[in-house]
Amino acid sequence: MIAASALDLRRQVALLSGSDSWNTEPLPEDGVPSCALSDGPHGLRFQADAGDHLGVSGSEASTCFPTAVTVASAWDEELAERIGRALAVEARALGVDVVLGPGLNIKRHPLCGRNFEYFSEDPLLSGRLAAAMVHGLQRHGVGACLKHFAVNNQESHRFVVDAVVDERTLRELYLAGFEHAVKESRPWTVMAAYNSVNGHPATQNRRLLTEILRGEWGFDGLVMSDWAATNDRVAAVAAGLDLEMPGSNGLFDRDVLKAVESGRLPAGLVQASAQRVLDLVERSGREKGPSADHDALARSAAAEGTVLLTNDGLLPLAPGRTVALIGAFAERPRYQGSGSSLVNPTRITTALDEFRRRGIAVTYAPGYDPADSHHDPALIAEAVAAASAADVAVVMAGLPPVYESEGFDRTDLGLPGQHDELIAAVCAANPRTVVALSNGAPVLMPWKDAPAAILECYLGGQASGAALVDVLYGDAEPGGRLAETFPASLDDVAAGPWFPGEPHQVEYREGLAVGYRHHTTAGIAPLFAFGHGLSYTTFAWSDVTGDRGSVTLTVTNTGTRAGADVVQVYLHDRTGVVARPRRSLAGYAKVRLAAGQSTTVTVAVPERAYAFYDVTAGDWRTPAGEFDLEIARSSTDVVATVTVTVSDGVTAAAEPAGTPLIAATDEQFRRRLGRPVPQPRPVRPFTRDSTLDEVAATRLGRLFKAALWRAAPIDEATRANPAELAMYEHSLAELPLRAAAIFSGGKLRWGTIDLLLRLFNGFGGRRG
Ligand code: BGC
């Protein structure tokens, strides 16, 4: 492959933007082919033609694996790697070189609309699972893309919001998973997020992209932008953003050329980025391979990620009982989320299909409308009648697609009222009721104690219906443990008052008080704890020993069936040196045992688990003193404790023990930030960064927004799909003008945008 140094500046610059939605720019005269990118993360969304980036136009059929939230619940790196490998096989069959995933943003708040696409609220678990998936892909010749780097923890205003977060929280919570995955699995690419971080767009954040990612972590791959996240292209190159995606028809090329010619941008930086594009192309050039059928893997993965939340012994179901199968998800399953990750599945097996295939007679009652679940007492009455007449009722409930999606956040934690009423009524009619939930993030369960068993199936991919029936009858074990906290109330989420923040600024004042870190510190009982999950068998833990580097114990399957257990080790810092959450995950191990089998399990505790990020030193430090390693079944169920003494640690920290984790007041937040709390960027005057909704405060802006809406690729199918339509509406409303220019495929040039801006700000800027 030609070296970037052998290309003239114009061709180097050309390499720095995609040629369309999914390919890098080829240079045929120099023998440089393009590299094909495709979403990700739980299946391929390969669009052979120009396509779109929000999943509204069709894509080639691919296996739809369980979404990240389901995979994470399996706590199983081997499984994540197997899925990665299967994705690589399918990618190579389609000629895809890089899969845009995994996504590993932290679930700061349970209402983030895209939580289904992320692993966990915990960075250790997220980082390990992401690394495993990257290994699965890259060991089989297909590149991965860690996304969205960084602090992209909400959908609201994602294109323009500035995440204001202190350095320690950034390092310990929001970067730690990326750090682990980068160092451990050496991903080919990383995707810079839409949002800003501490005043600088992630795409032009030199500190993140160059100093931390490359300098500190040794990342040697390519950084690409999220789709149309580019703002100031020159600043982006200077910051270390190599590739702008999608292609913007040369929108920014002149800026970059001029900046180099005038000496404002060092030519060496352009050359280095062009070289990284060439390196990616070089790494990619694989032969196409045969595809394979991965439905069975998707099916077993869905069961592995299913969490048995409660069970009075009804599950697994004894064969021969009559079943009332209730809930429209039984025939119209909710198995993935809307947005850029939407996969066109190779097939779908519904629960109803699987019951029928097994020859099990079920009475089916839909119970609700699967699209919007509006109030409908007649559907509940029909379901109650079916449940009363059967031995057992299985209610499939959850969140309809319009409740959670890329592009917008949820507004409350509840299920649709119709689902809550349905569950309560069915349980009252038949106490032998199993509730199986399909949702991408935590929900409230006001009826929690009524069913005999609750299964959290999450969004289980194309075979989720079959997997549910496998689990119900015990052909597969629900192997999951929650990778996130289910709060009992929205009030218990520490980030609540600052989520999703102002359109231009979100303040991470809760600091490290996220998920179970907050619940365990504040002593708040969750609805279901991080790490919780029952099994169809029972396990005994004994002979616990440990030292600074690991904990060892004997795990025995004391039941009569094979099963999987997850040993979790939490760190409790008792040194009194530094303010810390009461518990943080320090290690875990998943173990599978036959009935009666026993094994020795060693859980490694990395040195990093003890350390905190010392902002004064700009490095990680371990406090001196005593730590408890808590060996636990969940973040609230500690079985044994090993005490470790660190004598070679530090004895002072900027935030000593006793400092509240939540910086509620301006003064506390200012102190933690080490600078005044910034003011959000003003809405006026309008700039290229202004959103369509913002400029729509003017008459001309309204007309402009309406014209773009008319030009959007919204067909009848989208119009008839409330989730897709909602995603489009939100995305368009929040789209900044610069992104509209990028997406316009060359129709909107800067001259037009800047002229419009003058009008919006001047004559056309009159309110009304
Ligand atoms: C999403 C990315 C995705 C990209 C391309 C963006 O809107 O945030 O996750 O990879 O589109 O579809």
Tens digits of residue pLDDT in 369-414:
999 999 999 999 999 999 999 999 999 999 999 999 999 999 999 9
Output phi, psi for 365, to 5 deg: -135, 125
Rounded to the nearest angstrom, the distance between the alpha carbon of 145 and the centre of ligand 1 is 11
Computed on alpha carbons and rounded to an integer, the radius of gyration of the chain in Å comes to 26
pLDDT at 349: 98
Query: At residue 303, does pLDDT exceed 90?
Result: yes
Average of per-residue pLDDT values in the chain: 96
Distance 227 CA to ligand 1 centre (A): 6
Catalytic residue, chosen from 39, 162, 226, 573, is 226
Which residues, 6 or more positions from 72, have their beta carbon under 8 angstroms from its beta carbon?
Answer: 119, 120, 125, 126, 129, 305, 483
CB of 100 within 6 A of ligand 1: the answer is: yes
569 pLDDT more than 70: yes
The answer, yes or no, to whether any atom of ligand 1 lies below 6 A from the CB of 517, is: no
Per-residue pLDDT tens over the stretch 622-674 = 999 999 999 999 999 999 999 999 999 999 999 999 999 999 999 999 999 99
Residue 291 confidence (pLDDT) = 92
CA of 554 relative to ligand 1 center, distance in Å = 44
Atom of ligand 1 nearest to the CA of 148: 9
pLDDT exceeds 80 at position 767: no
Three-state DSSP string of 3-34: CHHHCCHHHHHHHCEECCCCEECCEHHHCECC
The pLDDT of residue 48 is: 81
Q: How many other C-beta atoms lie within 10 A of the C-beta of residue 703?
A: 12
What pLDDT does 51 receive? 66
Q: How far apart are the first and last CA of the chain?
A: 58
Q: Higher confidence at residue 134 or residue 720?
A: 134
Lowest-confidence pick of 374-388, 445-459, 704-718:
704-718
Q: What is the pLDDT of residues 470-485, one digit of tens each?
A: 999 999 999 999 999 9
When pLDDT is cut at 50, 70 and 90, the band that residue 54 belongs to is low
Query: Residue 512 pLDDT > 50, yes or no?
Result: yes
Poorest-confidence range of 124-128, 343-347, 713-717?
713-717
CA of 373 to the centre of ligand 1 (A): 28
Ligand 1 pocket residue status of 226, Cβ below 6 Å:
yes
| Burial state string for 331-368 with b = 16 or more CB within 10 A and e = fewer than 16 | bbbbbbbbbbbbbbbbebbbbbbbbeeeebebbbbbbb
* Alpha-carbon gap, residue 180 to 585, rounded angstroms: 14
Whether the pLDDT of residue 135 is over 60: the answer is yes
Tell me the average pLDDT across 687-708: 97
Q: How many whole angstroms from 336 Cα to the centroid of ligand 1?
A: 16
| Nearest protein Cα to ligand 1, atom 8 | 226
Other C-beta atoms closer than 10 Å to the C-beta of 600 total 10
81-91 per-position pLDDT tens digit: 999 999 999 99
Contact 256, 250 (CB under 8 A): no
Is the CB of 227 within 6 Å of ligand 1?
A: yes
- 340 CB less than 6 Å from ligand 1? yes
For the cut 50, the answer to whether the pLDDT of residue 102 exceeds it is: yes
Spatial separation of the C-alpha atoms in residues 252 and 760, rounded to whole Å: 23
- Index of the ligand 1 atom closest to the CA of residue 246: 5
pLDDT at site 285: 74
CB of 39 closer than 6 angstroms to any ligand 1 atom: yes
Q: Residue of the nearest CA to atom 3 in ligand 1? A: 340
| pLDDT of 764 over the 70 cut | no
The more confidently predicted of residues 766 and 515 is: 515
Tell me the whole-structure pTM to 2 decimals: 0.98
Nearest CA residue ID for atom 4, ligand 1: 227
Atom of ligand 1 nearest to the CA of 152: 8
Q: How confident is the model at residue 63 (pLDDT cuts 50, 70, 90)?
A: very high
pLDDT of res. 287: 78
Mean pLDDT of 138-153: 98
Band (pLDDT 50/70/90 cuts) for residue 578 is: very high
Residue nearest to atom 6 of ligand 1 (CA): 227
What is the tens place of the pLDDT at every residue in 214-267? 999 999 999 999 999 999 999 999 999 999 999 999 999 999 999 999 999 999
Ligand 1 geometric centre to CA of 340 (Å): 5
Q: How many CB atoms lie within 10 A of CB 688?
A: 16
Q: Quick check: CB of 53 below 6 Å from ligand 1?
A: yes
Which of 47, 227, 341, 343 for a ligand 1 pocket mutation test, highest count of atoms within 8 Å of Cβ? 227
Residue nearest to atom 9 of ligand 1 (CA): 340
**Closest residue to atom 12 of ligand 1, CA basis:** 53
Distance (angstroms) between ligand 1 centre and the Cα of 193 equals 9
Q: Is the CB of 147 under 6 A from ligand 1?
A: yes
* Burial class for 264, CB neighbours closer than 10 Å (0-12, 13-18, 19+): exposed
Catalytic residue list contains 279: no
- Kindly tell me if the per-residue pLDDT of 428 is higher than 50: yes
pLDDT at residue 768 above 80? no
The more confident residue out of 278 and 721 is 278
Token pair for 524:
């708040």
pLDDT at residue 765, as a whole number: 44
